[in-house]
Structure 1
Amino acid sequence: MKLIGIEEHFLTSAVANAWNAIGLEMSDPSVGYHQGVVGRRLADLAGERLALMDESGLDIQVLSLTTPALHDLGRESVELAQRTNDAVAEAVARHPTRFQAMATLPVSIPDEAALELDRCISTLGFKGTMLCGRVGARHLDDLAFAPILDCAAMLGVPVLLHPRTPPMAVRDAYYSGFSPLVDAGFATVGLGWHYDAGIQFLRLVLAGTFDRLPGLQVILGHWGELVLFYAERLAVMDRVSGLSHPIAHYLRHNLYVTASGMFLPHYLKRAVAIVGTDRLLFSTDYPYQYRPGEDARRFLSECGLDDSGKAAFAHGNWLRLTASCLQ
Structure 2
Amino acid sequence: MRVIAVEEHFTTGELLEADGIGGPGYPSERLLDLGERRLKDMDAGGVDLQVISLAAPGGQQLEVKRAVPLVRRANEMLAEAVFCHPDRFAGLAALPTPDPEAACAELERAVRELGFRGAVVNGHTRGRFLDAPEFRPLLELAAHLRVPIYLHPTPPPDVVRRAYYSGISPEVDGALATSAWGWHVETGLHALRLVLSGIFERLPDLRVVVGHLGEALPFMLRRVDARLSPEVMGLKRQPSWYLRHNLWLSISGFFFEAPFRTAMEEFGAEKILFSVDYPFASSAEGCRFLEGLGFGPQEYAKIAHQNAGELFGL
TM-score normalised by the chain length of structure 1: 0.91
State the Cα deviation string for residues 163-217 of structure 1 (Å, max 9, x = none): 1111222222221111111111111111011011111111111000101101111
| 1:76 Cα offset (Å) | 2.5
262, 267, 271: which one aligns with 1:270: 262
89, 92, 102: which one aligns with 1:102: 92
For 2:170 and 2:256, the matched residues in 1 are separated by 30
For 1:304 and 1:173, the matched residues in 2 are separated by 43
For 1:179 and 1:37, the matched residues in 2 are separated by 20
User: Within 5 A, what are the aligned runs for 1:1-327?
Assistant: 1-20=1-20, 31-32=21-22, 36=25, 38-73=27-62, 74-236=64-226, 237-238=228-229, 239-290=231-282, 294-323=284-313
The one-letter code sitting in structure 2 at the alignment partner of 1:112 is: A
In 2 relative to 1, CA 106–47 (structure 1 residues): closer, same or farther, beyond 3 Å? same
**SS at 1:64 equivalent:** strand
The one-letter code sitting in structure 1 at the alignment partner of 2:27 is: V
Question: How many equivalent residue pairs?
Answer: 311
State the Cα deviation string for residues 1-44 of structure 1 (Å, max 9, x = none): 11000000001001122224xxxxxxxxxx34x65561111011
Counterpart for residue 25 of structure 1: none
State the Cα deviation string for residues 208-240 of structure 1 (Å, max 9, x = none): 010110111111100000111101110020141
The one-letter code sitting in structure 2 at the alignment partner of 1:98 is: R
The one-letter code sitting in structure 2 at the alignment partner of 1:255 is: L
The one-letter code sitting in structure 2 at the alignment partner of 1:251 is: L
Judge conservation of contact 1:128–1:158 (CA < 8 Å) in 2. Answer: yes
Judge conservation of contact 1:161–1:197 (CA < 8 Å) in 2. Answer: yes
Counterpart for residue 26 of structure 1: none
The one-letter code sitting in structure 2 at the alignment partner of 1:43 is: L
The one-letter code sitting in structure 1 at the alignment partner of 2:11 is: L
| 1:267 Cα offset (Å) | 2.0
The one-letter code sitting in structure 2 at the alignment partner of 1:197 is: T
For 1:136 and 1:17, the matched residues in 2 are separated by 18
For 1:126 and 1:111, the matched residues in 2 are separated by 19
Judge conservation of contact 2:11–2:74 (CA < 8 Å) in 1. Answer: no
The one-letter code sitting in structure 2 at the alignment partner of 1:270 is: T
In 2 relative to 1, CA 37–71 (structure 1 residues): closer, same or farther, beyond 3 Å? closer
For 1:81 and 1:137, the matched residues in 2 are separated by 19
| 1:139 Cα offset (Å) | 1.6
For 2:51 and 2:202, the matched residues in 1 are separated by 28
For 2:249 and 2:295, the matched residues in 1 are separated by 16
State the Cα deviation string for residues 71-97 of structure 1 (Å, max 9, x = none): 112132222222111110100111111
For 2:123 and 2:145, the matched residues in 1 are separated by 20
**SS at 1:321 equivalent:** helix
| 1:304 Cα offset (Å) | 3.0
In 2 relative to 1, CA 205–222 (structure 1 residues): closer, same or farther, beyond 3 Å? same
Aligned-pair identity (%): 42
For 1:175 and 1:37, the matched residues in 2 are separated by 21
| 1:56 Cα offset (Å) | 1.1
Pick which of 128-137 and 209-218 moved more.
128-137
For 2:165 and 2:43, the matched residues in 1 are separated by 38
**SS at 2:115 equivalent:** coil
For 2:172 and 2:26, the matched residues in 1 are separated by 21
- Deviating runs (4+, > 4 A) in structure 1? 34-37
How big is the alpha-carbon RMSD for the aligned residues of Structure 1 and Structure 2?
Answer: 1.5
